Amino acid sequence: MSASPSSSLVFSASSPRVRKWPRSARSTSNLLVHFRRSFPIVLASSGNESSSVGTDMSTEMDAVSSFSEIVPDTVIFDDFEKFPPTAATVSSSLLLGICSLPDTKFNNAVETALANSECYEQEKSSDRMSCFFNKALVNVGADLARLVPGRVSTEVDARLAYDTRGIIHKVHELLRLYNEVEVSSERLLFKIPSTWQGIEASRLLEAEGIQTHLTFVYSFPQAAAAAQAGASVIQIFVGRIRDWARNHSGDPEIEAACKGGQDPGLALLIKAYNYIHKYGHKSKLMAAAIRNKQDLFGLLGVDYIIAPLKILQSLKESVTYPDEKYSYVRRLTPSSAKEYDFNDEELLKWDQRRLAAAMGPCAEELLASGLDGYINQTRRVEELFGKIWPPPNV
């Protein structure tokens, strides 16, 4: 990876002091995070310059939110009011969470799905459970669309990950169901695994005006192919790549980053950001599997950062004062992306053969593991629906 000013340390102060709110000063209202600046004195920069805290005290949440959209990594429920998200994802994992709790605001969405007459009329049990699953996803997604101002991403069945036509058919089916409950396609994303078939499905769906969210991106070839396909959102799991690198070897992309003294997960996301912005792709980039605040500070400027609740709480409670001269640097900018150097092999027009040859063991293993996890969760939901169907009063 080429060196540039944007690859410098995130903080302009080498060891800034951070203070906590005293407990006596905290109230219930102070703990409600709306991801708006509670102290509107953080000066955001659109270039490489630092953004410094102004004349009054502010929080780290205020500062980082001026550079990237911070999204809570949570299945909502108890934390929804405490950290209300600006966007949301409805998935098999979320449905399992809803079904495991006796009383959430989304129970009715699932119960209504299980009472659906269209699903009831399916002769095969597998078709009936699949219908219930789709209805439940959409009903919960519609509820979320009424609660968040941004877009709702809906998981596409991972069992279709290697079936381009199957993915497209499933997305059309989910979109039809969303239309029935009056959720506009502009409010929706469809979350698709980044196999070659998933990337190709994304290209074809985007050509129809349907927004896609490509997930399980663990290599630059996947990220570049996704950008070339025109995916609306590309999600990279920073921490998972680091975890793999700590326990494995033999991946050229990982080893090149480590040899250059870089964290391989952060390096991939920064490289993907620079590629998207240098070559004018429309995709937005999402950082996931953030392990600590240093990860988050190292990615300021990326479009979305999914952060665990413990990090959000720490950001909200960490107060900065003007006398500390505490500054943040936007690490990722479109202007710095233009200075990034890519080699000829990285600028290929990606196709299935080239992608398969270029993906290293890290991407292959983590993609397979992610698919297995999604598939198992989907099956668990369908099995659970089979046990509790029909619901009361049906």
Please say whether the dihedral angle defined by the alpha carbons of residues 114, 117, 123 and 128, taken in this order, is positive or negative.
negative
Q: Could you give the C-alpha distances from 174 to 119, 155, 183, 207, 392, in angstroms and in order?
A: 14, 10, 11, 17, 26
Q: Which of 272, 288, 270, 284 is nearest to 230 (CA)?
A: 284
Is 191 designated active site? yes
Q: Per the residue annotation, which of 135, 170, 191, 293 is the catalytic one?
A: 191
Residue with token string 């009936």: 128
Pairwise CA distance, residues 70 & 106, whole Å:
24
Note if the bond before 390 is cis, omega within 30 degrees. Answer: yes
Q: To 10 degrees, what angle do helices 164-180 and 196-207 make? A: 50
Return the structure tokens found at 262: 């870089």
C-alpha to C-alpha distance for 391 and 113, rounded to whole angstroms: 10
Q: Active-site residues: which are they?
A: 191
